[in-house]
Amino acid sequence: MVKRIVLLSLLVWSSIDASVYEGNCVQCHQRLPVSIDKYFYKYLLIYSSERDMKHAIINYLKVPVKETTVMSESFISRFGVKQKSELSEKELGEAVDVYWEKYKVFGKLK
């Protein structure tokens, strides 16, 4: 019985996190010509660690400015800098955690 409750709790918790990511991040990025995983790899190239990368993404989403974007000058010229996120600090953290888990390469390379 306890195992079922724990499993159910984990499923509910992960679906909440995924819904913030899917409903906000993925939905918006589907309108751009660069897939969302490409942003991940650009951030990973620049920041290299999970902590630094998550911190940089959250900071950019809270205060998006040209000086802190990882996108190229031509991309910014064409599409501009994104609008400030309206997600709460908690929601941003949840979304970035889901994003990290979905695209991280650590432990997946053979």
Helices 89-103 and 2-20 meet at what angle, rounded to 10? 100
Tens of pLDDT, residue by residue over 51-61, are 999 999 999 99
Q: Which residues contact 84 (CB under 8 A, 6 or more apart)?
A: 61, 62, 63, 64
Tens of pLDDT, residue by residue over 73-92, are 998 998 889 899 999 999 99
